[in-house]
Chain A
Amino acid sequence: MNRRKFIDLFLGGSLIGTFIAFLYPTISYLLPTKQIEVVIKKITAARLGELAPNTSKIFKFGTSPGILINTSDGELRAFSAICTHLTCTVIYEEDTGTILCPCHNGRFDLGGNVVSGPPPAPLESYNVEISGEDIVVSKKG
């Protein structure tokens, strides 16, 4: 290797090294910092008698919303309120007794199964139990 080639390589390598030395911290800076998420498996979603038959309530389940439904038969059901299509928050439609995602009109039955529309999977269903005066919702499994 002659002196000219050595200088070319040395300067070129230094330039690339400097670029990477700036690029790495910049990319690291741009990526979101990881947040510690507290996993909640059980929560009091409502008080007993709070929901009349054929009504629903959106409740906070950790960092995402859940939906508690008191069916017209007086049966309590709970699901994740996040639509499996494009993560809109679903609502309970009292007229039809089904769960509707207003974003793209995806519809689920009271078992959380897809009835119509684009959602590719059923809603995640939760266990519901009565504990004293509280309606407690917990994740399955």
Chain B
Amino acid sequence: MKNILQSIYSYLDSRFMLSGLIQFAKKKKVPEHKHSFWYYFGGICLFLFILQVLTGILLLLYYSPSVNSAHESIIFIMSQVKFGWLMRSVHSWSANILIAAIFIHMFSSFFLKAYRSPRELTWITGFFLLLVFLAFGFSGYLLPWNELSFFATRVGTDIAGTLPLIGKHIKTFILGGTDVTGATISRFFWLHIGILPLLTVMILGIHVLLVQTLGMSKPIGIPENKVKEVPFFPNFILKDSLGWMLMLAIIGVLCVFFPWEIGQKADPFAATPIGIKPEWYFCFMFSTLKIIPAHIFSIEGEMIALFGFMIGGLLWMLVPFLDRNAAKERRSPFFSVMGWIVLLYIVVMTAVTYLLPGL
């Protein structure tokens, strides 16, 4: 038996060069220090993405992307299909937890200054992955065609429409017309299951390749000889898989006790429901749009807010090139403080959406 397995392995090894990969995994080391905990969020993001792909493929079997059948197919999945409620709830819950995990992964990398040379491209590809996953969330939110998602899409695409010169064209392109209609569902579905997964695989491939080739970043200030290292395989990967199992257990409990809601079918001619708000990860922008004055120096408030977010996002993406101290392995408290301000802003504005709905 052992001989058969050995010959199968040899056959595959000579064609796929497996021993090279195993040697690489065995040689690869992961630094271990008091902040090592944060390393596991990258793996958790990857695991949740795999879960998204698997449950998404299963949902495709029954979901139908049209105005007359989208909501009905979700009701069918939730009420008629065996374990349909579980598949959809796992998809929705893990999508939300994935975005939270990406935020945690991003901020922990930021505060540990993991973006510094030579990992600038790892940071930038990570930033693009955040944008792609926000687009996943936005496009997936409309697919059940309920009233909350309908108005969230209207507001979201209208924000894009406020951009000078190209805004209207972008809005028309995204919506497939001038308003949220059946054409919008088709486009969002196309984005959600075609374009965005393709982009994710490409960017994620580069991101993971960079992590593998450059290794994990060590925090600034820890002397090279004082950092303990553990083998990536099997030590780190075993701890990583423990985190994945924990995530799966949390998602399972959430799905059983809080199955994802279906909502009311969207009616374009109904009034917007009171207390409407977007998914939690867009709430900080939502609250900003709520409190910003209609005009600031005769410029429309929402346009200023939009430009603010765009410039903020651009600076955030370019931080490896702006933080010159970190690039020279020196502490950079200014950027740490900036990071805390951004984090505080996001947390406070998100809390405001839920705690002060009448603001």
Q: Which residues of A contact B (CB under 8 A)?
A: 30-32, 35, 58-60, 63-65, 67, 81, 85-91, 101-105, 114, 117-120
* Structural contact, A120 and B294, CB atoms closer than 8 A: yes
Decide if B290 is an interface residue (CB 8 Å cutoff). Answer: yes
- Taking CB as reference atom, which chain B residue is nearest A31? B173
Query: Which residues does B use to contact A, with CB under 8 Å?
Result: 151, 154-155, 158-159, 172-173, 175-177, 179, 183, 268-276, 286, 289-290, 292-295, 300-302, 358-359
B276 touches A102 (CB 8 A): yes
Given contacts A102-B275, A105-B359, contact A86 B293 (CB under 8 A): no
* Minimum-distance CB pairs A-B, first 5: A91-B271, A86-B158, A88-B272, A104-B290, A86-B155
Q: List, in ascending order, chain B residues with CB within 8 A of A30's CB.
A: 173
Q: How far is the CA of A63 from the CA of B274 in the complex (A)?
A: 23
A31→B177 CA distance, assembly (Å)? 9
Q: Which of A67, A87, A89 contacts B158 (CB 8 A)?
A: A87
B275: chain A residues at CB < 8 Å are: 102
Residues of B within 8 A of A103 (CB): 151, 155, 272, 276
Are A60 and B272 also in contact (CB < 8 A) when A30-B173, A118-B292 are?
A: no
Residue of chain A at shortest CB distance from B275? A102
Residues of the B chain whose Cβ atoms lie less than 8 Å from the Cβ of A60 = 269
A118 and B302 contact, CB distance less than 8 A: yes
Enumerate 30 A-B pairs (CB-CB under 8 Å) in ascending A order.
A32-B172, A32-B173, A58-B269, A58-B270, A59-B269, A60-B269, A63-B179, A65-B268, A67-B271, A85-B289, A85-B302, A87-B155, A88-B151, A89-B151, A89-B272, A90-B271, A90-B272, A101-B272, A102-B271, A102-B273, A102-B274, A102-B275, A103-B151, A103-B276, A105-B359, A117-B294, A118-B289, A118-B293, A118-B294, A120-B302
The residue of chain A having its C-beta at the shortest distance from the C-beta of B294 within the complex is A120
Q: Closest approach, in angstroms, between the C-beta of B60 and any C-beta of chain A?
A: 22
Report A35 CB to chain B, min CB distance, Å.
6
A104 and B159 CA atoms in complex are apart in Å by 13
Question: What's the dominant secondary structure at chain A's contact region?
Answer: loop
Return chain A residues, CB-CB under 8 Å to B269: 58-60, 65, 89
Enumerate chain A residues within 8 angstroms of B295, measured Cβ to Cβ.
120
Tell me whether B294 and A91 are in contact (CB under 8 A): no
Nearest-Cβ distance from residue B265 to partner chain A, whole angstroms: 15
Contact of B290 among A31, A91, A118, A120 (CB under 8 A): A118
What chain A residues lie within 8 Å of B158 (beta carbons)? 86-87
Could you tell me the distance in whole angstroms from the C-beta of A7 to the nearest C-beta in chain B?
Answer: 34
Given the interface contacts A64-B179, A86-B302, does A81 sit within 8 Å of B155 by beta carbon? no
Tell me the bound Cα distance from A103 to B302 in angstroms. 13
In whole angstroms, how far apart are the Cα atoms of A105 and B301 in the complex?
15
Min CB–CB distance A34 → chain B (angstroms): 9
Residues of A close to B151: CB separation below 8 A: 88-89, 103
A80 and B21 alpha carbons, distance in the complex (Å):
64
Q: Establish whether residues B271 and A89, one from each chain, have CB atoms under 8 Å apart when the complex forms.
A: yes
How distant is A28 from chain B, measured CB to nearest CB, in Å?
Answer: 12
Alpha-carbon separation in the docked complex, A64 to B154 (Å): 13
| Complex: A67 Cα to B269 Cα, angstroms | 10
* A91 close to B289 (CB less than 8 A): no
What A residues does B177 contact at CB under 8 A? 32, 35
- Of all chain B residues, the one with the shortest Cβ separation from A100 is B274
> How long is the Cα–Cα vector from A31 to B183 in the complex, in angstroms?
11
Bound state CA distance, A32 and B158, in angstroms?
Answer: 17
B53 → chain A closest CB, angstroms:
25
Q: Which residues of B contact A31 (CB under 8 A)?
A: 173
- Whether A88 lies near B289 (C-beta < 8 A) is no
Closest chain-A Cβ to B191's Cβ sits at a distance in Å of 11
The distance in angstroms between the C-alpha atoms of A120 and B293, with both chains bound, is 9
The answer to whether A86 and B294 touch across the interface, beta carbons within 8 angstroms, is no
Measured in the bound complex, the distance between the Cα atoms of B179 and A102 in whole Å is 19
* Shortest Cβ distance from residue A136 to the other chain B in the assembled complex, whole angstroms: 18
